[in-house]
Amino acid sequence: MTQETVKPQEKEALIELLYQLADDDFILSFRGSEWLGLAPHIEEDVAFSSISQDMMGHANLYYNLLEGLGEGDADKIAHLRSVEKFRNAIILEEVNGPGTYLKEPDYDWAFAVVRNYFYAVHKQIRLDSLRHSAYEPLAEAARKIMTEQYYHLMHWEIWFKQLMTSTDEAIKRMNTAIEKVWKDFGGVLTLGPSYADIVKANFIDDEAVMKKRWTNKMEAVFKEVGANYPGEPRMERGNGRNGVHTEDLKHALSTLSEVYATNPSTGW
Amino acid sequence: MTVGMSFSQLSEDEKMTHFLDRINAGEKIEPDDWMPADYRLQLIRLISMHGISEIMGALPEKEWVPKAPSLHRKLAIMAKVQDEMGHGQLLLRVAEDLMAPLGKTRHDIMEDLFSGKLKFHNVFHMDAPTWGDAGIIAWLVDGAAIISQSMMLDSSYGPYARALKRICAEEVFHAQHGESIILAMAEGSKEQREMLQDALNRWWEALIMFFGPKSAKETGNSNADKNIMYKIRTKTNEDLRQEFFTKYIPRIWSLGLTIPDETIHFDEDSQMWVYKDADWSEFKQIVSGNGPQSQNRLDLRRRSYKNNEWVREALAAKKAI
């Protein structure tokens, strides 16, 4: 189906899904951009900033699909929605560590690697499914995104495996980060309250099926690096797909829209 | 060189003559070629300063990456800062090759940066408090960089010339990105035009300083002169500044902006721009790490270097699975 042929009830579910996809990439790309100049070495600064830029591009593709469905101007929906209208998973909005990107950032590289790797694995699974989405413009976007996502996944996988099998200190820090991410990663794995309609319209595979694929992959990777699999990922702070968010998102959005919000009607 | 005699048998003076003949004939010097120690040191000084300036130069614009006022601008400025970091990496690799025979590594470059021994470009010590500054940096600072770097495209040191070729190609896109921001603001609301003018006022003196003082008198060193002799560069600081004026002053005026120098004009007799010179004692202060943002930006790098020590150790441990 296309923009013209999507039925009203399906359209509502499609819009929900697109906000999840867009907001996940948008907010994690922002967190990535905060790392610029602070990564462990210059080569990583180059690679990570390239990944963040790609992800912003992916968010942009999804926001444009939303614009096509009558949700309003892509810039406006990216910058001016209120916090509870955001559909990203809570773990993706979490700050990189103490401090801000401008002042005294004590960012945690283990957290960056774990969050990005777990997300990249799921994003790959999600895109694999979206390639066959009943909504053709979404299937087409997914195919485009996959060409870049392949490298993102490889990048984070190398980091994850390397740090998980290195010094005792690295392993300890990585395990702390895994514990932290695990508490809320369940939020990435859900399609939220519109889940049944989203799946019924064949926009994407069932969340249970995708979650199983993610779990299988994670169990294999944990085994490979000799780590214990932590069991079921949780959603301790609530479900971002329901509009439940933390102060971290509020601050992020006020930064992201700082200039645009001064005059959204002018050209920038 | 006498036929049948190997290069290593030549005296130092003969080697030097041979070297100068090569560069005067337009040949490129490669990392493993013989070069005078002084030439090597000049290159290390210039290229490590250039490389680290690209890296420190990403920081003022980084401040504006998340705040860029549309998805399109966010994407463009993200691409730009990534390019700058890439240039830094490319240049540091060139510098590292030159430093290797002296037993120095990337670690020494970073330590020299933190201690203030290795300086970075004056413009990257300055405040960038508004989106207008992000526009001026991309348009005029990158525009100035294109002018000074294009001059070295034919540098006698092959690896530097080749790196610059790629860098200049990307800088052209940056200047276009900057020009596009500037045009949008110049054609926008009264507030946007004021923001732009304020940013230009803030950056003008730093742009005069960008090319360095007119002669060795102001700084007490003659690196520029040496680099001309070695054909690392081909023009003086003042030649470059005049080129910058000729290219950009008419464009600045055509946007209805005012240059914060009442004396600036083109003198038909001398065919030169006449302008108010920068305060070069201030310049020395800035590049010595006493500019408005010098220590804040250095602290960002110092802090991350320290915070990530465990990562570097983990990578060096190489315990494969």
The 8 Å CB, 24+ separation contacts for B196-200 are B196/B132, B196/B135, B196/B136, B196/B257, B197/B257, B197/B258, B198/B130, B198/B132, B199/B130, B199/B132, B199/B133, B199/B135, B199/B136, B200/B132, B200/B136, B200/B252, B200/B257, B200/B258, B200/B259, B200/B260
Closest CA to A42 of B313, B92, B128, B20: B92
User: Is residue A75's pLDDT more than 60?
Assistant: yes
- A268, part of any domain: no
User: Is residue A182's pLDDT more than 70?
Assistant: yes
Q: What percent of chain A has pLDDT over 70?
A: 100
For B304, name the nearest residue in chain A, comparing CA atoms only.
A38
> How does pLDDT run across A120-172, given as a tens digit for each residue?
999 999 999 999 999 999 999 999 999 999 999 999 999 999 999 999 999 99
Beta carbons of A87 and A16 less than 8 angstroms apart: yes
- For residue B221, the Cα-to-chain-centroid distance in whole angstroms is 18
Are B188 and A267 in contact (CB < 8 Å)? yes
Closest CA to B162 of B224, B100, B87, B229: B87
User: Is residue B219's pLDDT more than 60?
Assistant: no
Number of helices (H) and strands (E) in chain A: give both, helices first. Answer: 10, 0
The CB density around residue A220, as the number of other CB atoms within 10 Å, is 10
* B285, amino acid identity: Q
- Look at phi and psi of residue B320 and say left if phi exceeds 0, alpha if psi is from -120 to 50, else beta: beta
- A23, part of any domain: yes
* A254, amino acid identity: S
- A267, part of any domain: no
Quote the pTM value. Answer: 0.95
Q: What percent of chain A has pLDDT over 90?
A: 99
**Window 51-110 of A, Cβ < 8 Å to B:** 52-53, 56-57, 59-60, 63, 74-75, 78-79, 101-107, 109
Q: How far apart are CA A36 and CA A30, in angstroms?
A: 10
> How does pLDDT run across B155-168, given as a tens digit for each residue?
999 999 999 999 99
Residue with more model confidence, B218 or A143: A143
Are B311 and A109 in contact (CB < 8 Å)? yes
Q: Phi and psi at residue B157, in whole multiples of 5°?
A: -90, 110
- Three-state DSSP string of B236-260: CHHHHHHHHHHHHHHHHHHCCCCCC
According to the model, what pLDDT value does residue B4 have?
A: 58
Domain hosting residue A80, numbered range:
8-262
According to the model, what pLDDT value does residue B3 have?
A: 56
Compute the average pLDDT of residues B246-262: 98
> How does pLDDT run across B165-179, given as a tens digit for each residue?
999 999 999 999 999
Cβ-based contacts of B312 with chain A (< 8 Å)? 40-41
Compute the average pLDDT of residues B265-272: 97
Q: How far apart are CA B48 and CA B93, in angstroms?
A: 9
Helices A109-130 and A168-182 cross at an angle (nearest 10°) of: 50
DSSP 8-state code for residue A38: T
> How does pLDDT run across A30-47, given as a tens digit for each residue?
999 999 999 999 999 999
Q: What percent of chain B has pLDDT over 90?
A: 90
For A262, name the nearest residue in chain B, comparing CA atoms only.
B69
According to the model, what pLDDT value does residue B318 have?
A: 64
According to the model, what pLDDT value does residue B228 have?
A: 87
DSSP 8-state code for residue B29: B
Q: How far apart are CA B298 and CA B289, in angstroms?
A: 9
C-alpha dihedral over A5, A6, A9, A11, to 10 degrees? -140
Could you give the 3-state DSSP secondary structure of residue A234?
coil
Extract the tokens encoding B14.
């003969």
For A32, name the nearest residue in chain B, comparing CA atoms only.
B66
According to the model, what pLDDT value does residue A10 have?
A: 96
Are A42 and B89 in contact (CB < 8 Å)? yes
Q: Is B304 exposed, middle or buried (0-12, 13-18, 19+ CB in 10 A)?
A: buried
Compute the average pLDDT of residues A233-243: 97
> How does pLDDT run across B87-137, given as a tens digit for each residue?
999 999 999 999 999 999 999 999 999 999 999 999 999 999 999 999 999
- A230, part of any domain: yes
- A2, part of any domain: no
How large is the ipTM?
A: 0.96
Q: How far apart are CA B176 and CA B138, in angstroms?
A: 8
- Confidence category of residue B151, pLDDT binned at 50, 70, 90: very high
Are B187 and A259 in contact (CB < 8 Å)? no
Q: Structurally, what CATH architecture does the domain formed by B28-211+222-304 represent? A: Up-down Bundle (1.20)
Cβ-based contacts of B192 with chain A (< 8 Å)? 263, 266
User: Is residue A228's pLDDT more than 60?
Assistant: yes
User: Looking at the partner chain, which of B92, B188, B314 has a beta carbon nearest the beta carbon of A42?
Assistant: B92
> How does pLDDT run across B13-68, given as a tens digit for each residue?
999 999 999 999 999 999 999 999 999 999 999 999 999 999 999 999 999 999 99
User: Is residue B317's pLDDT more than 90?
Assistant: no
Beta carbons of B51 and B88 less than 8 angstroms apart: yes
Interface with chain B: mutation pick from A23, A53, A257, highest number of B CBs within 10 Å: A53
Extract the tokens encoding B11.
């005296």
Upper half-sphere CA count for residue B134 (Cβ side, 13 Å): 28
Q: How far apart are CA A153 and CA A66, in angstroms?
A: 26
According to the model, what pLDDT value does residue B319 have?
A: 56
Could you give the 3-state DSSP secondary structure of residue B273?
strand
- A35, part of any domain: yes
Q: How far apart are CA B96 and CA A204, in angstroms?
A: 50
Q: Which helix (H) or strand (E) holds A152?
A: helix A136-164
Extract the tokens encoding B38.
């002084």
- A3, part of any domain: no
- Confidence category of residue B224, pLDDT binned at 50, 70, 90: confident
Average pLDDT, chain B: 93
User: CATH no. for residue A35?
Assistant: 1.20.1260.10
Total number of domains in chain A: 1
